[in-house]
Amino acid sequence: MSARYLVAMFESLAFRLPIQVWNEYRNALDHFMRYISYPNSETKLNLRRMEGHIQRAVLDMCKIICFRMNDKLEKQIESDSIPCLRLVEDNFYERLLNDKRDCLRQLAHAKTVDHGLGENVGTNMEIVKNYLVPALGMLALWRRYEDNRLSIEKVAQILLEERRQERRNTIEESSRKWYSTTNLKNHLFPKLIMDNGGSGHCLPMARLLSLSYR
């Protein structure tokens, strides 16, 4: 049941199911067919082997989901930008970041237990639970992210309009400065130079400078 749910969730996120998971399913089906086709002393052994392959499929899916979803979240955060996400209501970004860190800590714990079990990792149910917790946590984080998509886009639009207004203000300020400077050159200085009591003679440089700084 867990394997089917995880596979369905993984595929719904547009990920392709890795070949190792299909191999576990194929091997599980092989043992199941042996179980129903050849009832003998190996019947229970085939059932146990079938369960082992399903369990390994769950383990593989949990690990892959944790790593893929972490990458997916990081790329989406980068795309939406942290300044934008920080402005989403109810401390959306801070809570998301804290919960993601918890998932990664749980994943690190599962990997530590995984390493300690050695060859028994494929038959130990406790390790499945250890990996299942962060995997389901990562899926829940992505659902929360998508549930807030409208709020994120609204904030992004507000920030975009603010940047546009800032650019317009900058352009207008530059235009005013340019007009002021051009007006000074084209109108004020020619007037100062030529205005010498109506004589049409240029003013001396010292006199010009004294007038221009009054």
Instruction: Please give the pLDDT value at position 203.
Output: 47
Q: Answer for the pair 63, 131: CB distance below 8 angstroms, yes or no.
A: yes
- Report pLDDT digits (tens) over 169-194: 888 777 777 767 665 555 555 555 55
Instruction: Please give the pLDDT value at position 12.
Output: 80
HSE-CB of 68 using CA atoms within 13 angstroms: 19
Question: Is residue 212 very low, low, confident or very high in pLDDT (cuts 50, 70, 90)?
Answer: very low
Instruction: Please give the pLDDT value at position 187.
Output: 56
95: its two tokens: 């809570």
Instruction: Please give the pLDDT value at position 111.
Output: 85
Question: Is residue 101 very low, low, confident or very high in pLDDT (cuts 50, 70, 90)?
Answer: very high
174: its two tokens: 């530059």
CA distance 81 to 84: 6
Instruction: Please give the pLDDT value at position 75.
Output: 94
CA distance 102 to 172: 49
Percent of the chain with pLDDT over 70: 77
The full DSSP string for 82-126 is HHHHHTSTTTHHHHHHHHHHHHHHHHHHHHHHHHHHGGGGGG-HH
Average pLDDT of every residue of the chain: 80
Question: Is residue 80 very low, low, confident or very high in pLDDT (cuts 50, 70, 90)?
Answer: very high
Instruction: Please give the pLDDT value at position 47.
Output: 85
- Report pLDDT digits (tens) over 123-147: 567 788 889 999 999 999 999 999 9
Question: Is residue 167 very low, low, confident or very high in pLDDT (cuts 50, 70, 90)?
Answer: confident
Is the pTM of the predicted complex or chain greater than 0.85? Answer: no
If one compares 46 and 115, the residue with the highest pLDDT of the two is 46
Q: Per-residue pLDDT averaged across 33-58, rounded?
A: 82
Output the CA–CA distances (angstroms, integers) from residue 65 to 59, 68, 166, 187, 203, in the order listed.
10, 5, 42, 72, 83
Four-residue CA torsion sign, 60, 6, 100, 158: positive
Indicate whether 214 pLDDT > 60: no
